[in-house]
Structure 1
Amino acid sequence: MQKRWTVKKYQPIQEQQLQSALKIHPILCRLLVQRGITKYDEARHFFRPSLEDLHDPWIMKDMDKAISRLEEAFFRQEKILIYGDYDVDGTTAVATVYGFLQSHYSNIEFYIPHRYREGYGISMQGIEYARENDFSLVIALDCGIKSIEYIRHAKSIGIDFIICDHHLPDPELPPAIAILNPKQEGCPYPYKELSGCGIGFKLISALAQKKGRPMQEVYGFLDLVATSIAADIVPMTGENRILAFHGVKQVNETPSAGIRALIQLSNLKEKLTTSNLVFVIAPRVNAAGRMDDARKAVNLFIEKDYDKAYAFAEMLHGDNMERKGVDMSITQEAVSIIQNDVSLHGRKSTVLFQPHWHKGVVGIVASRLIDKYYYRPTIILTQSNDKVAGSARSVSGFNVYEAIHQCKDLLENYGGHFYAAGMTMKPENVSAFQAKFEEVVAATINPDLLIPEIVIDSEIYLSDLTPSFYNIMRQFEPLGPENLRPIFLARNLMDTGFSKIVKDEHLKLSVKQRSGGSFSGIGFFMADKFELISHKKPFDMVFTVEENEWNGTVSLQLKVIDIRETT
């Protein structure tokens, strides 16, 4: 798949000023300036995140109302229901708030809506459960900000809501007792990008302060908060960086029984990073809701006995194995449909429908088709009761939600954001929707957006990649949106003659630049590039840098992203 290479613009004056202050390699200063760090103190906070720099939770709008209502519930011995979404952010949020409250108050339960029977967010079934079981206060985590009618109904039958949500509010807000959301109008809280679990963490932080409890009780949940931040793809800046830094440290040193069980089952031996949380831990947690019931994820996180937690982890691990099998099967079937239907080959979008496809993985399949096969806005549809439901994923720079909005006359319901959305429609509208969506995308997408873009942080010489350079770069962790792993470009490389294809599909490289020494690299699924590098002609390479350990020896290795002939 052809890719566009875009090198970020440099800011030489700011880079030089920062380099004078920090006395580190100029390219490291370039990386910091790209991340908005231009002064010595900003760099110090970046490299040494401190829990003391977290904002006071009481700054958040309605925090006083939320804590006052909780204290009233404690005094009256009311039943409190902790309600959260079925994904990683929702389940970790529920486990965090439930786990803290449970240590001080016994009259509580938690509730996770079923992905297929109830759908996302507050459901009528959930409200009915609260009514039938005499819950008078519901704390909604990672959801609720758009559930105006449901919460209005709950209020009419004597059920109060405290909403802890990080999604963008509409102009009209639900009639809750308190709404904790830094993005709502009039909220003075300085940091706006907390995860849903992060807002739950702020709630228990304020409660701990009110009760005079040591903050160490709250910090004990930082491994769950870090997991939510990594999995929910929120910016790795400000408070998120502080929380994730200390949460990842806890994951490695004193994880909860549930996280420890997942690490054991995943056979992770190395020191964990946010990448492990995203690609190893999060899929197992999400699989519970995708394939079965996400309540087991909460049970995993709140369980203190390791053997019992391990049993829950095995359930999640099994769900994830099933998910991977279903995901792979549907992806292969989708690719086969496109390959065998000539009418689909020249399209600017992909919209596929099969009634037997599993609803829990259609979003994953859409992402996989874009990443590995057909780089274009993609929607995967399946049958859901008497409706057709699906998930959309987009390519960089294209607003798939807006494109779906232009097809709204064919839809029953839809929602989402710039890069991902969901929708339902009548089965008889599928063909018309496929045609209309293709028409909208073809008319509005910039052709360049149909070529994957690699955004490169900096050009570099291989000789710059020293152990001391890497040791500082490693301190850019935790990585995530707005602080991604640095991507480099090296030009005029030559094969040393020792590069080879391994396992028929991967490229094991040995390269040199000018008169310097050789560097090893690995290009997964890049065997097709071997012919390009073996002709004794110079080539350019885009890569990240990582450590490789072999027979007890640790060395730097290039993880190759793309290669092209030098022009």
Structure 2
Amino acid sequence: MNKRWAIREVPAIDDINHLATGLNIDPVLSTLLLHRGIKNYDEAKYFFRPDIRHLHDPFLMQDMEKAIDRIETAIAAGEKIMIYGDYDVDGTTAVAVVYSFFKNHHSNIEYYIPDRYKEGYGISTQGIDYASANGFSLIIALDCGIKSVDKIAYANKLGIDFIICDHHTPGEELPDAIAVLDPKRADCGYPFKELSGCGIGFKLAQAYAEKNDLPFEDVSRYFDLVAVSIACDIVPIVGENRVLAYFGLQKLNSDPCIGLKILMGVAGKSISYTISDIVFLLGPRINAAGRIDDAKHAVELLIACNDEEAQIKGDLINIKNTERKGHDLQITDEALGMIGDSQILIDRKSTVVFNENWHKGVIGIVASRLTEKYYRPTVVLTRSNGHVAGSARSVLGYDLYEALCGCSDLLIQFGGHKYAAGLTMHPENVEAFMDKFEEVVSATITAEQLIQQIQIDAELRLTQIEPKFFRILNQFAPFGPENMSPVFLTKNVYVSGNPVLVGQNHIKMTVMQEGSALFDCIAFGQGEQLSQIKKDVPFDICYNIEENVWRERRTIQLNVKGIKVS
């Protein structure tokens, strides 16, 4: 697929040079800082030196005092407390943090994860009925509940109190809970709005610790789990999330909790984890528990107290992940075949595919793969509990949630955000939805949004890539949404030696530019470009700069994202 190269606007030269001089850094690095809104020495120090003191006071969050008061009352009275969380990575890590923390201070506590297939997303009537039947008087809901107005009303009738800890956008009406912790609620003055669901749970624990004069180590021990949630829930890694991710990665790589240590071993990489490693190695395994079997297995792993118990759960989750991969590949192949066999589907500006036999647990992954292939808003549908359920994914800059709002008359319910969403409908509405979604997308998407884009941060000469530059560049990490690993453009490079095709369609080569050293390169999935790369013929590359470790030897490597013959 051809990709559009889009170079970010260069800030004012005076601003670039002023910041570069003040920090004694390369102007390209000061350009990257200005792109991130960092304009002076103090802001740069805050960015480059994350500090525990940068975490905000949890009591700045609306209703936090009410939440802590209710928990203290429950603990003092010996009430049964249920920790209720969603079945994905964010939800299960949130449950692991909050359950483990309060278990140290209250023995009458259990956790509950809804069944993805029987109960669906969020707070369920079945979960509330279970709480009522088993004598729970307080439920702390994590990563869900902000729109569960009717469910909370039902719980109130049964005499069950709720504390909601959510990070999704509220609806017009807030649930009538004892406390609703959500920085996105209109009346919440909390300074940072983009915490993960697990991050909200962490702030609850932090508030309880502060109120009760507990050492900060009682909550900082969960930094690794918070970092996993931040990585896998794709929240912006800026502000408070950057601090939590920074210290979370430190803990993950030096002293992970038993469950994560076992999972890292099962995943085949036990050290030097980055945000990307979490996303691709740990996240799918944790998610697989709920996609294929029961998300309680993930929580049991994450709260495990000994290696033997954790190893059993880790091995089970790894098996479920292998099973998940099988479903994923099979359904992706079937969906691609369905599109390839239909000129109507090929010509559309959206993709909607439906098969009532597809496994609901992997349709979100399949939607992501189809979006990568055809690069347009995509919905994958299957049968579930008498209805049709779907997962939707979008492309850069296109608001998927707004598109679904335009189809709301055909949906039973839907929710999500700009780039990912879930939905349900009656089976008889599937065809009408396919047509309506295409109509809405066609009317609102631009031609540029339908062409995959490589966003280039700055132009760079290879001679600028020296040890100090690379050392400072590494301090921009942890990388993630709104702080992505910078992509550089270098023009007129030449190949040295013979480029080769390795693995599945990857190019391995060495390049240089006039006056520069040689740099090893890897270009994943770009084998079709090999014929264009010829000795003595200049070409342009855009790339990330990364460290490659091979047999304890560390070298700088260019991870090439695009190649164009000059």
Normalising by structure 1, we get a TM-score of 0.97
The answer on 1:412 being equivalent to 2:406 is no
Structure 1 residues 10 and 192 mapped into 2: Cα distance closer, same or farther (>3 Å)? same
Alignment of 1:368-387 (within 5 A): 368-371=369-372, 373-387=373-387
Instruction: Tell me how far 1:403 sits from its aligned partner.
Output: 1.9
- The aligned counterpart of 1:267 is 268
Distance 2:423 2:190 in 1: 33
**What is the CA RMSD across the aligned residues, in angstroms?**
1.4
Instruction: Tell me how far 1:414 sits from its aligned partner.
Output: 2.0
Structure 2: gaps (5+ residues): none
The answer on 1:359 being equivalent to 2:336 is no
- The aligned counterpart of 2:507 is 507
- The aligned counterpart of 2:38 is 37
Greater mean alpha carbon deviation, residues 12-21 or residues 460-469: 12-21
Q: Secondary structure at the match of 1:213?
A: coil
Alignment of 1:178-197 (within 5 A): 178-197=179-198
Instruction: Tell me how far 1:476 sits from its aligned partner.
Output: 1.3
Distance 2:424 2:61 in 1: 36
Q: Match of 2:515, as an amino acid? A: S
The answer on 1:399 being equivalent to 2:399 is yes
Q: Match of 2:326, as an amino acid? A: G
Distance 1:62 1:17 in 2: 44
Distance 2:144 2:551 in 1: 49
Greater mean alpha carbon deviation, residues 284-293 or residues 182-191: 182-191
Provide the identity percentage. 52
Distance 1:184 1:551 in 2: 51
Structure 1 residues 422 and 178 mapped into 2: Cα distance closer, same or farther (>3 Å)? same
Q: Secondary structure at the match of 2:105?
A: coil
Contact 2:494 2:535 in 1 (8 A): no
Q: Match of 1:209, as an amino acid? A: E
Contact 1:130 1:136 in 2 (8 A): yes
- The aligned counterpart of 2:527 is 527
Structure 1 residues 194 and 503 mapped into 2: Cα distance closer, same or farther (>3 Å)? closer
Distance 2:245 2:92 in 1: 17
Instruction: Tell me how far 1:412 sits from its aligned partner.
Output: 2.4
Q: Secondary structure at the match of 2:546?
A: strand
Instruction: Tell me how far 1:552 sits from its aligned partner.
Output: 4.1
Q: Match of 2:55, as an amino acid? A: L
Distance 1:480 1:143 in 2: 23
Contact 1:497 1:534 in 2 (8 A): no
Instruction: Tell me how far 1:246 sits from its aligned partner.
Output: 0.7
Distance 1:269 1:118 in 2: 35
Structure 1 residues 317 and 532 mapped into 2: Cα distance closer, same or farther (>3 Å)? same
Instruction: Tell me how far 1:219 sits from its aligned partner.
Output: 0.7
Instruction: Tell me how far 1:535 sits from its aligned partner.
Output: 6.4
Distance 2:114 2:157 in 1: 21
Distance 2:364 2:247 in 1: 31
Q: Match of 2:225, as an amino acid? A: L
- The aligned counterpart of 1:310 is 311
Instruction: Tell me how far 1:515 sits from its aligned partner.
Output: 3.5
Instruction: Tell me how far 1:513 sits from its aligned partner.
Output: 1.4
- The aligned counterpart of 1:157 is 158
- The aligned counterpart of 1:89 is 90
Structure 1: gaps (5+ residues): none
Structure 1 residues 443 and 551 mapped into 2: Cα distance closer, same or farther (>3 Å)? same
Distance 2:240 2:445 in 1: 35
- The aligned counterpart of 1:177 is 178
Instruction: Tell me how far 1:504 sits from its aligned partner.
Output: 6.1
Contact 2:118 2:385 in 1 (8 A): no
Greater mean alpha carbon deviation, residues 250-259 or residues 51-60: 51-60
Q: Match of 1:250, as an amino acid? A: K
Instruction: Tell me how far 1:435 sits from its aligned partner.
Output: 1.9
Distance 1:226 1:78 in 2: 31
- The aligned counterpart of 1:496 is 496
Q: Secondary structure at the match of 1:345?
A: helix
1:115-158 per-residue CA deviation (whole Å, 9 max, x = no partner) reads 11111111000100110001000111111111001101111111
Structure 1 residues 431 and 42 mapped into 2: Cα distance closer, same or farther (>3 Å)? same
- The aligned counterpart of 2:447 is 447
Contact 2:117 2:385 in 1 (8 A): no
- The aligned counterpart of 1:248 is 249
Contact 1:331 1:365 in 2 (8 A): yes
Q: Secondary structure at the match of 2:561?
A: strand
Instruction: Tell me how far 1:440 sits from its aligned partner.
Output: 2.0
The answer on 1:459 being equivalent to 2:459 is yes
Contact 1:540 1:563 in 2 (8 A): yes
Distance 1:551 1:147 in 2: 53
Q: Secondary structure at the match of 1:6?
A: strand
Q: Match of 2:31, as an amino acid? A: R
Structure 1 residues 443 and 535 mapped into 2: Cα distance closer, same or farther (>3 Å)? farther
Distance 1:333 1:222 in 2: 40
- The aligned counterpart of 2:555 is 555
Q: Secondary structure at the match of 1:172?
A: coil
Q: Runs of at least 4 residues of structure 1 off by over 6 A?
A: none
Instruction: Tell me how far 1:512 sits from its aligned partner.
Output: 1.8
Distance 2:350 2:61 in 1: 42
Distance 1:340 1:59 in 2: 56
Contact 1:245 1:478 in 2 (8 A): yes
Distance 1:461 1:320 in 2: 43
Contact 1:467 1:556 in 2 (8 A): no
Q: Match of 2:263, as an amino acid? A: L
Instruction: Tell me how far 1:395 sits from its aligned partner.
Output: 0.9
Q: Secondary structure at the match of 2:177?
A: coil
Distance 2:311 2:450 in 1: 44
Contact 2:98 2:205 in 1 (8 A): yes
- The aligned counterpart of 1:516 is 516
- The aligned counterpart of 1:166 is 167
Distance 1:445 1:7 in 2: 21
Distance 1:18 1:48 in 2: 17
Distance 2:554 2:253 in 1: 21
Distance 1:306 1:548 in 2: 31
Instruction: Tell me how far 1:405 sits from its aligned partner.
Output: 2.1
1:342-374 per-residue CA deviation (whole Å, 9 max, x = no partner) reads 222211111111111111111110111111x21
Distance 2:276 2:78 in 1: 42
Greater mean alpha carbon deviation, residues 493-502 or residues 242-251: 493-502
- The aligned counterpart of 1:202 is 203
Q: Secondary structure at the match of 1:476?
A: coil
The answer on 1:104 being equivalent to 2:96 is no
Q: Match of 2:417, as an amino acid? A: H
Distance 2:385 2:168 in 1: 28
Distance 1:224 1:550 in 2: 29
Q: Match of 2:67, as an amino acid? A: A
Structure 1 residues 220 and 551 mapped into 2: Cα distance closer, same or farther (>3 Å)? closer
Structure 1 residues 10 and 250 mapped into 2: Cα distance closer, same or farther (>3 Å)? same
Q: Secondary structure at the match of 1:498?
A: strand
Structure 1 residues 26 and 63 mapped into 2: Cα distance closer, same or farther (>3 Å)? same
Normalising by structure 2, we get a TM-score of 0.97
